[in-house]
Structure formats: C-alpha cells, structure tokens
Amino acid sequence: MANLIDSKPLVSIVLPTYNRLNWLLKSIDSVIEQTYENWELLVIDDISDDGTKEKMEEICLQDKRIHYHRLPVTKEPGISKFLNYGIKTACGTYIARLDDDDRWCDREKLAKQIKFLENNSDYVLVGGGVIAINDKEEEIFRYLENETDKDIRKKALLSNPMTHPTVLFRKDIAMTVGGYQSWAYAEDWDLWLRMGRHGKLYNFPEYFAYYLMAGQNISLRNQRGAAKMIFEILKTHKNYYPNFTKGYLVNCFQYFHSFTPPFFRKSTTTFLKYIKRKYF
C-alpha cells in the first residue's frame, strides 16, 4: 500500500487558522476523509490562544501527514504571508487550499482534481462549486462557478472566478508568478489571474466545499475596503482579460452598497453575494 501511495503525486494542503479550534477540527476531518491518501496538511497558526496548539500537537502525533506551524504576528495585511509560507514549505507537486471555517464535502475532491491535472498539462488551476452555510451549518445557497477556460476568462474581472477552498493548483506555477501578493483582500483572485497567464483554468460542475458565510469573513466585514482594493486588482489585470469596464462597474455597485445604512447592508449582503456568484 505504501508503494502505491508513493507512486501518486503528493498534494500539500495549506490551511491557515486563528482561534477557531472547533471549526478547524471539522476542516481537518474533511481532509482525512479524502479517498486520495498521498497528501500532507500544513496547519499554519497565527498564534491562537484557544487550545489550538495543544490539540494540534496531539493530532500530529496521530497522523504524520499533518504538520503544525506557528508564525509570529506581523503588520503585513491579510493572510498572504501565511499562505506563501505554506506554499514554500510544501513538498507537494500540487497545492490545495482550505480555511479553518470551511470543509470539503466531496470525499473524491482531491482524486478528481489530481486526475484532471495529471491528464491535462496545459491547465494550471482547477476549482469547483460551493455550498454556502451559516454558523449553524445550515445551507444558505449553493453555486457552481463558470466551468470552461473560455467562460472563466470572459468573466474573470467581473467576479472571483474560483472559490478558495475548492482549488487545486500547480506549485511550480504559483512559485513562478510570485505566490500571493500582499493584498489585504482578494489575494486569491489576484493569484488566479496571474496564474491564468501561464495556463488554462477549469471549474468542475460539482460541489466540493462547505463555505461558511458569517461575520468572520473579512471581505464581508469591510466591503468598502475590499471594493477599493478590488479596483486596484482589476486595473492590474485589465490588459490580460476582457470586460474590464463591466467588472469595474460591478465593483462600483459593491462600493456604493457599502455606504448604505448598516441594517440594509446586513440584510442584503448575502443575497447580493449570491447574485454575483450565480450570474457573474
């Protein structure tokens, strides 16, 4: 069995965390439940103080594929430094991403994506659909991303074309483009667009992850700041993807929405996110 596993490409799963131990354990369980077994999990901790360290040390003793890292706090915005540390430390040919409040819902997720990339060398990044849930783990809505490379590129500046906890990508290409940049928001969107200059993109028409939509999401907490940064990201990539003007106008709507009264913004944000994901 060991030799059979070793003959398959290693996948490195990068999972940053901070004080969400209960959710983190569910995320880890969804990795362990994958039918594809040749993986390593890098849990990268932003100095949690909720018992994460002690629990992770226990888990690492039980499964040698799981590795725990604690990084010191810095003034660098966003989570890019944790993600880049994970990519650079990773030993795998492929990188998968998972957040501590999300989990995979398809036990074949890794197997399907690895088979696709192994058979299609011109593709650099794959993703899939998402089931959005609330903090009670109740489904809010679900969506599938644009599937083909052609459709993804057509709408890549209108909305983030891949959902972070569903992706699998080639480590060498991520390193070639410089990894995640130090954006406070939408650092994943920017990386996908840069990787897309080196190869094709694909989204499986299947649901791969439960995606928590609650107040913990930084882009939901600060829509105005996120919209401002997305303007900059769109301008960075306007010469490489079509429909820049449409994308700019879509983001303008998000920016103006951030000025509406808090009660209205709170009640409409989830619906608008659904519309954006569903139709853009």
Contacts of 136 (CB under 8 A, 6+ apart): none
Task: Report the pLDDT value the prediction gives residue 1, as an integer from 0 to 100.
Answer: 45
Say which residue the tokens 């596993």 belong to.
Answer: 5
Rounded Cα distance, 95 and 113, in Å: 11
From first to last of its 280 residues, what are the pLDDT tens digits of the chain?
A: 444 556 799 999 999 999 999 999 999 999 999 999 999 999 999 999 999 999 999 999 999 999 999 987 666 777 999 999 999 999 999 999 999 999 999 999 999 999 999 999 999 999 999 999 999 999 999 999 999 999 999 999 999 999 999 999 999 999 999 999 989 899 999 999 999 999 999 999 999 999 998 755 545 557 888 999 999 999 999 999 999 999 999 999 989 988 888 878 777 877 777 777 777 7
CB pairs under 8 A, 24+ apart, for 132-138? 132/211, 132/212, 132/213, 132/274, 133/210, 133/211, 133/212, 133/213, 134/212, 134/213, 134/214, 135/212, 135/214, 137/210
Ordered by start, the domain boundaries in the chain are: 2-215
Which CATH superfamily includes the segment(s) 2-215? Answer: Spore Coat Polysaccharide Biosynthesis Protein SpsA; Chain A (3.90.550.10)
Task: Report the pLDDT value the prediction gives residue 78, as an integer from 0 to 100.
Answer: 77
Task: Report the pLDDT value the prediction gives residue 258, as an integer from 0 to 100.
Answer: 87
